[in-house]
Amino acid sequence: MDDISIRKVGKTGRITLTRPKALNAMSYAMCIAIEDALDAWAIDDDVKMIVIDAEGQKAFCAGGDIAELYNTGIAKNYDYGRKFWADEYRMNAKMFEIDKPVASFMQGYTLGGGVGVGCHASHRIVGKTSRIAMPEVGIGLIPDVGGTYLLAHAPGRLGEYLGLTAAHMSAADAILAGFADYYIEEEQWPALIAQLEETGDWTCIDDLCTKQDAPQSHLVGKMGQINAEFAGETLRDVVNALRADTSDFASETLDLMAKNSPLAMGCALEIIHRVRNCTDIRMPLKQEYRFTYRAMEHGDFLEGIRAKIIDKDHTPKWQHDLTGVPDVAVSSMLMPLGDNKLTFEKGE
């Protein structure tokens, strides 16, 4: 496959995303190829660890390839998206759960579906160009691919802030939020990867990282306001708290949120609250699937894609306004799916 290179090198299983012109966007075929590799390497004694990187300077992976999702959704073929998400989430779970070290090297943009590959690794490396975000609410979706697990475990209410604003994180921000572990200068990555391939010893990362200082996160100074403004139970609570605050931070935050789907933000907030005490990724993925299963038929997803990607008019007609999302709308999107629930079984 031209979009991804999967091979064994030395003592490592190697995955390289190889479609830089598309910012290494994750296709369905790439998801399945990664899952198959994880299955094989999990029981291969010759593979001591897994190393994931990507070609190009602009992006590790700038999200999922959503063109086919949109086309099938407009045609009311909702089953395509449901299978895509179910299979992708199964791969995300395996990345999180595999009993071998996984090192990911995330330069440039790591967005959405890219987070599901790079940020569930056990050893997540970022550098000067790294920009990480969960921007799904901007297209009427929720942070998924296990993103709600990461957001729920961020310090304080930082996860709520990142999930509802779709704000981009620098390398230092990502380390603060728990989306990354190590800051290493990017020009040193090729030599480090070669060392990992030769030795299969993840402690090489620790040895190199201790000699470098990560830049300061700009979010640290905002944590007080973030914790205060995003402590509410519902989207309405958060918006009202921000509107009562006359600071530049509150105004800028409201401007960010005004671009996003209120229904998606309300549901994202609810899921983050539900999964805050989870210690595994499967329950968050199941919650996310309840939303994505319904996203095309009942959510703002197709309208969000139309406005941002297809027509590019950037004027989506969301179903609700910022303070007008009924509780029942959130509940309806997140109700159990019964026989259609996510099972993590291949071939479902």
Instruction: With respect to residue 234, please indicate whether it lies within any of the assigned structural domains.
Output: yes
Nearest to 305 by CA among 68, 109, 98: 68
As for how many domains the chain has, the answer is 1
Q: How far apart are CA 147 and CA 289, in angstroms?
A: 12
Is 60 exceeded by the pLDDT of residue 203? yes
62-76, 77-91, 173-187: segment of lowest average pLDDT: 62-76
Tell me how far the alpha carbon of residue 224 is from its chain's centroid.
25
Residue 216 lies in domain: 4-340
Q: How far apart are CA 289 and CA 271, in angstroms?
A: 11
Q: How many CA atoms lie within 13 A of 280 on its CB side?
A: 7
pLDDT at position 216: 87
Give me the mean pLDDT over the 40-63 stretch.
Answer: 97
Higher-confidence residue: 165 or 65?
165
Do residues 9 and 16 touch, judged by C-beta distance below 8 A? no
pLDDT at position 150: 98
CATH number at residue 70: 3.90.226.10
Instruction: With respect to residue 348, please indicate whether it lies within any of the assigned structural domains.
Output: no
Predicted confidence band of residue 34 (pLDDT cuts 50, 70, 90): very high
Is 90 exceeded by the pLDDT of residue 336? yes
Predicted confidence band of residue 212 (pLDDT cuts 50, 70, 90): low
Residue-wise pLDDT tens digits, 117-165: 999 999 999 999 999 999 999 999 999 999 999 999 999 999 999 999 9
Predicted structure pTM score: 0.96
DSSP 60-73: EE--B--HHHHHHH
Contacts of 181 (CB under 8 A, 6+ apart): 123, 124, 125, 175
Give per-residue burial for 41-77: e unless 16+ CB within 10 Å, then b.
beeeeebbbbbbbbebeebbbbbbbbeebbebbeeee
Contacts of 287 (CB under 8 A, 6+ apart): 148, 271, 274, 275, 334
Q: How far apart are CA 94 and CA 233, in angstroms?
A: 31
Give me the mean pLDDT over the 254-269 stretch.
Answer: 98
Residue-wise pLDDT tens digits, 273-327: 999 999 999 999 999 999 999 999 999 999 999 999 999 999 999 999 999 999 9
**336 class by beta-carbon count within 10 Å (0-12 exposed, 13-18 middle, 19+ buried):** exposed
Higher-confidence residue: 207 or 127?
127
Give me the mean pLDDT over the 195-202 stretch.
Answer: 97
Contacts of 177 (CB under 8 A, 6+ apart): 150, 154, 155, 158, 159, 162, 169, 219
Give per-residue burial for 267-305: e unless 16+ CB within 10 Å, then b.
bbbbbbeebeeeeebbbbbbbbbbbbbbbbeebbbbbbb
For residue 275, give the 3-state DSSP assignment: coil
Is 60 exceeded by the pLDDT of residue 348? no
Q: Helices then strands (H, E): number in the chain?
A: 16, 9
Instruction: With respect to residue 345, please indicate whether it lies within any of the assigned structural domains.
Output: no
Instruction: With respect to residue 316, please indicate whether it lies within any of the assigned structural domains.
Output: yes
Give me the mean pLDDT over the 197-219 stretch.
Answer: 86
Between helices 248-257 and 235-243, what is the axis angle to 10°?
Answer: 140
Nearest to 50 by CA among 144, 154, 120: 120
